[in-house]
Amino acid sequence: MSLGTTRTFDFRHSKTRQTHTLQLTHGSLLIMQGRTQLDWAHRVPKELEVHGERINQTFRYVDSSAAPKRP
Ligand SMILES: O=C(O)CCC(=O)C(=O)O
């Protein structure tokens, strides 16, 4: 849940390197379900200038058995 200033949110697929970008506007609710957390990296990229404040509230279910294996 995003509250406040709009920020960019990026996804990059771990194998194909396909990317998606979206804007998290005030009141946005982003749900990452299925394999999203396993197959995609995500970030709020640094920006040179951000005007205003933003609060992000994240709820996570952590399933350690589904974690990717380290090489
Ligand atoms: O600030 C955000 O919306 C991103 C939060 C995030 O990437 C995370 O909780 O993993």
The residue whose CA has the least distance to atom 4 of ligand 1 is 44
Residue pLDDT, tens place only, 52-64: 999 999 998 887 8
Distance 23 CA to ligand 1 centre (A): 13
**pLDDT at residue 62, as a whole number:** 81
The residue with greater pLDDT, 71 or 40, is: 40
CA distance 45 to 7: 8
The residue whose CA has the least distance to atom 6 of ligand 1 is 43
